[in-house]
Structure 1
Amino acid sequence: MKEEKPVLKGKSLTDLTEICRHLGLEAYRAKQIYVGIYKSRYTSIDQFSSLSKETRELLKEKTVFPEIQLGRELISKDGTRKFTFDVEPGKEVETVWIPSADGERKTICISSQIGCTLNCAFCATGLLEYKGNLHSWQIIDQILQVEKIVQDRATNIVFMGMGEPMHNYFSVMKAAHILHDKEGMGLGARRITISTAGVVPGIHRFIDNKEPFNFAISLNHPNPNARSSVMDINVKHPLEKLLDAARRFTQELDRMITFEYVMIPDVNMGKENLDRLVKIARSVNKCKINVIPLNTDFTGWRRPTEDEVRDFVSYLRQKAGVPILNRQSPGRDINGACGMLALKGVRNENIH
């Protein structure tokens, strides 16, 4: 049986050192390759000028240096850009470039799975067929390809695209540590956010491993019974278990945790739900709440009005005693906003 060639991209320094050893190369060559891929952002083995021509030829013969392929691109009037990438034949993911209005913050929202195994009622990705986990190189390459296209570097990375990161834990964490490594892509740990819909064992693993990254939980309903109608994961991992894990996070890691809350009129914005949400915020030591207006309409639900959003946020800010941020839904006109990542056969075009 033919031995599969190792992929250089998405590998840690330890991985690359082992690959070099197997190829009969000096161990220090691994560091040169590592820095070339992540810090220098080389796109081909020929660019590794610190390596001899013989070494480059050996790498081209014995290893693989792949790229995911750009499918489509949409550009929003607010500067948000959404990309589809072919990661394998017949398998696509979406990635979103989100610049802040002042241009200081440049966020890339990346996917961790092809489709999703969950079925959150407000999320278009859950309607897609699940086709597997992404490899660490396919996660990293979303960032490399987007940066190459927009000719700029990201300041922040959020694992909030297609898929549930805790269901692809090891590839996600390998990618996150490459992003964070000063010899890799050099992003501070607090500029990398990993999100979960509520996979409780994954949260405990994250805590046990003392991962340094920001962490967010998609809460979306404060009622332990009603949450299951919005997020089916609540059946397997009930809200109280999820909140216990969140409290453990803040206590043992001594860091703030973020709750994401999609505002859905007549579903989770009523006074009773507000009071429950306030109680949750007060019970979790060190948290903040990001509220997001509903963006999808395929459920028959509607987007909240500006008055409804203002009243909801105002009440939380008065009562919860924690930071409240309204994320405003950038890229909504190109289906690039939270909950809208699904492939719909869109054409390459700019939307103004």
Structure 2
Amino acid sequence: MKEEHPVLKGKTLSELQALCTSLGIEAYRAKQIYAGIYKSRYTSLDQFTTLSKEIRELLKEKTVFPEIKLGRELISKDGTRKFTFDVEPGKEIETVWIPSADGERKTICISSQVGCTLNCSFCATGLLEYKGNLQTWQIVDQVLQVEKIVQDRATNIVFMGMGEPLHNYFSVMKAAHIFHDMDGMGLGAKRITISTAGVVTGINRFIDNKEPYNFAISLNHPNPNARSSVMDINKKHPLEKLLESARRFTQELDRMITFEYVMIPDVNMGKENAERLVRIARSVNKCKINVIPLNTDFTGWRRPTEEEVGEFVSYLRAKAGVPILNRQSPGRDINGACGMLALKGVRNEGSNKN
């Protein structure tokens, strides 16, 4: 890709208008380009037949219309599909397609960084070398490429793949706006979820900007001191400050916030932890808690038994006064579940794609 040439993908309508003007193309053509990329999902400039051949040739000469490159694919017995993509030479990411059992909900879990800037103890991505933030077009193209491969459209998009989305705030939010824009991909704001391990400054920026999207915080331990042993981000953004931002979110935006909680026996599932989690839920009020059984074992921690999960969830449901959802672990058999995205099993195993 020629660095001096602008990339068409990942640009907003206003950016495309400015680009057209700079190239001597009528500004109104930008809307046709925008619709071709995001609504029609064109993969080549030759498909933009609403544009004259002269304009198409000019765009070929002065811009680039790239794709991230599919590496490998694995398909789970539950229908989850995991893909690796090469975004640049030596830089790989993973993206996951997660259909619901009834086929009505089709979620794409997308990455925002190559590797991750954090080192959460339960998450395999943190073991990878961090190689940089994804550009907006590389974030958007994950959705375009997965939809093309599976021959279907996503109903939901979650920024819960590789990386910390709020450490790539502007590219992530720009991609979310393109997903949401009715002239773009047209997804409702409640069908787009931004997640964070707890970057308080990013949460506050999200609130200040009154972003309309769903928001999730990976909590994973309710004890202010013990949380640091599970999530190193707690040292820079302590739990107390994180919860202050969560309360501010619910109060100022008048919306529910989601806490993600990875259940780890002998670490965060004891009665005292459950009681602390209940107090947090009650203090935030407008929240729900998604509990997820631990999926990784490289720390020496083990996955909870069904009995342990049942006991923990039953206590929360009886005491917390907020919705408690057990998210299970779709795609676990292909290392595609929560905390498992580390290019494992895709680089070294053959695809089981038919």
Q: Which bin holds the TM-score, normalised by the shorter protein?
A: over 0.9
Measured after TM superposition, the shift of residue 351 of structure 1 is 7.9
Q: Is the 8 A contact 1:119 1:126 kept in 2?
A: yes
* 1:265-305 Cα distance to aligned partner (Å, 9 max, x none): 00000000000000000000300000000000000000000
- Distance in 1 (alpha carbons) for counterparts of 2:104 and 2:276: 35
Letter matched to residue 44 of structure 2: S
Residue 334 of structure 2 corresponds to: 334
Q: What's 1:124 paired with?
A: 124
> Where in structure 2 are the equivalents of 1:273-288 lying within 5 Å?
273-288=273-288
Q: Aligned-pair distance for 1:347?
A: 2.5
Q: Could you say which residue in structure 2 is the equivalent of 1:347? A: 349
Residue number in structure 2 paired with 1:177 = 177
The equivalent residue for 2:94 is 94
Q: Deviations over 1:142-172 (max 9, x none)?
A: 0000000000000000000000000000000
**Residue aligning to 1:156:** 156
Q: Tell me, yes or no, if the aligned pair for 1:334 and 1:351 is still in contact at 8 Å.
A: no
| C-alpha distance in structure 1 between counterparts of 2:328 and 2:116, whole Å | 24
Deviation per CA, 1:86-137, whole angstroms, max 9, x where unpaired? Answer: 0000000000000000000000000000000100000000000000000000
* Superposition map of 1:18-29 within 5 A: 18-29=18-29
Q: Distance in 1 between matches of 2:101 and 2:317?
A: 24
Q: Which amino acid aligns with 2:52?
A: S
Give the total of aligned pairs: 351
CA distance in 2, matches of 1:197, 1:239: 11
In 2: Cα distance, 1:305 partner to 1:351 partner: 31
Supply the AA of the counterpart residue of 1:21: T
Which residue identity is paired with 1:194? Answer: I
* Equivalent in the alignment of 1:227: 227
Ranges of 4+ aligned residues in structure 1 off by more than 4 Å: none
Correspondence 1:198 to 2:228: no
Q: Is the 8 A contact 2:73 2:353 kept in 1?
A: no
TM-score of the superposed pair, with normalisation by structure 2: 0.98
| Aligned amino acid, residue 346 of structure 1 | N
| TM score, norm. by length of structure 1 | 0.99
- 1:246 and 2:242 are equivalent in the alignment: no
Q: Which amino acid aligns with 2:74?
A: L
Unaligned runs of 5+ in 2: none
C-alpha separation in 2, matches of 1:239 and 1:196: 13
Contact 1:76 1:351 in 2 (8 A): no
Q: Secondary structure at the match of 1:212?
A: coil
**Residue type at the aligned position of 2:145:** Q
- The runs of 5 or more residues in structure 1 that have no matched partner are none
The CA deviation at 1:346 is 3.2
Indicate conservation of the 8 Å contact 1:77/1:351, yes or no. no
